[in-house]
Structure 1
Amino acid sequence: MDLRIVLGLVLMLVSPAWSQSSASTASDFEGRMAATARAYEDLDYEHALQELDGASLLARDDGERARVAIYRGLVLGDLRRRQASQAAFRAGLMLRPDASLPVKVSPKVARDFEAVRREVLALNPRPPSDAPRAVPDAKLAPTPASGLVPSAGAEAEVRASRSTPVLPLALLGAGVVLGGVGGYFGLRSHGNVSDARAADFYSDRLAHLDSARGQALVANVLLGAAVTAAAGAAVTWFLKDRTPSPRAEVSP
């Protein structure tokens, strides 16, 4: 037999093993969940279910097991496997009744999720949040002497002596603007993902997904800048409040 034919057959038999061994697989739970999210965004539902199978083996507590079950439920919901989707939702909500959907889904899947939550809460009602709780005996703070309490006029003078916090307000305003623009791009990105799922042609799906990725990147950058600006506003505000005013003098 020709040596070239033998080598060709050997390469054909070995190449699947190489491709399988070089496939990227997540080695921890969060890696598996991140791979699930990427596959779901790309509409690769079968791959998402495979990643969830691996994540379920790596889950260490009820919270992680609930995340896997709920994500499985929304993937099955998009595949129009409603009964299996509701069963997965039920398994996750039995572990964490206060859990929420990790991504935006179709209204039908969201309604099924909330309906299953009501069933779970009916079986395992939680105590109301405003129920009275035992409070340890409180100790009354000592009342300061009347001569040490500043008068209303002195307090008004102290408040008037404080300057307008220009820098914190500017940073807060910038954070609001950046957050609004980032939220707009985030909504556009989700809209393109929904359009990709509804598209009939593969080329249209790819175009919508490319637009969604670019808009998601812009949204993440703007939202990060908004959080930074808001944090700067909070820091400068607290630092200003801790700075003593030279005119805030109260006589006994």
Structure 2
Amino acid sequence: MDLRIVLGVALMLVSPAWGQPATSSGPDFQARMSAASQAYEELDYEHSLEQLDAAKAVARDGGEQGRVAILRGIVLADLGRRQEALASFKEGLSLGPDASLPVKVSPKVSRDFEEVRRNVRRELALNPRLAPDAPLAILPEPSPAPGLVPPLAKPEVRRTHSMPVLSLALLSGGVVLGGIGGYFGLQSRSNVSAARDDAFYSDRAAHLDSARGQALAANVLLGAAVTAAAGAAVAWLLAGDSPSPRTEVSP
């Protein structure tokens, strides 16, 4: 047999045109993604992850791989695996920073997704060739140049005068004594009025005796109240001459 004929037959047998035809991964990828989304909606998270693994295996480009990673992050977030979800979000958004969430999620997952998007955009701005599997990091705020740092304002220290404990105690005691003295004074007047209205001498005498006792008590208490108030004022004036231990610091 001619050698050229044998070589031609062999090439035809190993050629894709004569072997099993290559199938496109597009329809299979869409079917896997649809099955993963449906399983997620039915809360069958494990089956959803299995379908996502199968979809990733037939993904044709970075866009499809990003879709798989984002949906995987959503499933992992619902499973309580937050760190894995953040890493999966980062992988998907590194492949497509403008990607959106394919399904409705909780506000917490949405906040995590947007936070990862901001970090990815920041990293891509600094390094456009950043690998998708680079560790997720939150960049610190840039510090101003040394010459532009404003000097720190010196704190202002103000001394304030507080009421001494003795003055406060005397003033409080004076108020209490004055209140009790006023009460006895009112009771004395009430007994005097009752004595005027009584028809019997014995009743009038009893009311007047009570009125005199109450008037005496009222006078003593009011005098003590005035003395306490005066003592409080003197203690306050004397304390004002010495430096107060209280200071206030304001920036």
Asked if these proteins are the same fold (TM beyond 0.5), I'd say no
Structure whose CA Rg is larger: 2
TM-score by length of 1: 0.39
